[in-house]
Amino acid sequence: MSDRLTVTVDGERTTAVPGQTVAALLIGLGRRSWRTTRGAGRPRGIFCGIGVCFDCLVVVNGESDVRACRRRVADGDEIRVQHGAENPS
């Protein structure tokens, strides 16, 4: 296992630690929201933190509706914000 993982967040290259969740990575980068709601386009970020509320959804490697609080970062992940309802891949 390498010490550092290299990933991109909205196209910007950054590093993560093995075991880190996508949510912790984003919060560490100063992000507070990374999704907009389907209806009113409200910003949302982490809420329940344990996989229950489905508020912290993010797109990872092109796949939408990934819970950022539960997903562990993997080397090479491409992470980006989710706008409203994105078509499931």
Partner 1 sequence: MTANPSVTIVGAGPAGLAAARAATAAGARVRLIDAEPAPGGQYLRGDALGVQEDGRSAPDLPGEVEHFPDTEVWALEPLSGGGARLHLRTGPADGSAGAGVAAPDDGPRASVDRAVPHHAVRTIDAPVLVLATGAHDRVLPFPGWDLPGVVTAGAAQALAKSQRTAIGNTAVVAGTGPFLLPVARSLHGVGARVAAVLEANAPVSGWLRDPAGTAAGAGKLGELAGHTAALARHRVPYRTRTAVIAAHGDGALEAVTTARLDPDWRPLPGTEHTIAADALCLGFGFTPRLELAIAAGCATTGGFVLVDAAQATSTHGVFAAGEPTGIGGAALAAAEGEVAGTAAARAAGHRVAPPLSALRRVRTGRRFAAALSAAHPVRSGWKEWPKDDTVVCRCEEVPLRDLRAAARSAPGGRAFKLASRAGLGLCQGRICGRNTADLIGLTHDDARRFDRRPIAVPIRLGDLAGDT
* CA separation for the pair 50, 30 (Å, rounded): 20
Contact call for residue 53 and partner 1 (CB under 8 A): yes
SS3 track for 49-88:
CCCCCCCCEEEECCEEEEECCCCECCCCCEEECEECCCCC
Residue from 72, 80, 81, 86 in contact with partner 1 (CB under 8 A): 72
16-25: buried (b, 16+ CB within 10 Å) or exposed (e) per residue?
beeebbbbbb
Structure tokens at 28: 């560490």
Cβ of residue 58: shortest distance to partner 1, in angstroms? 9
Q: What x/- string results for residues 3 through 42 when contact with partner 1 is judged by CB under 8 A?
A: ---x----------xxxxx-xx--xx---xx---xxxx-x
Residue from 66, 80, 81, 86 in contact with partner 1 (CB under 8 A): 66
Residues that bind partner 1 (CB under 8 A): 1, 6, 17-21, 23-24, 27-28, 32-33, 37-40, 42-55, 57, 60-63, 65-67, 69-72, 74-77, 88-89
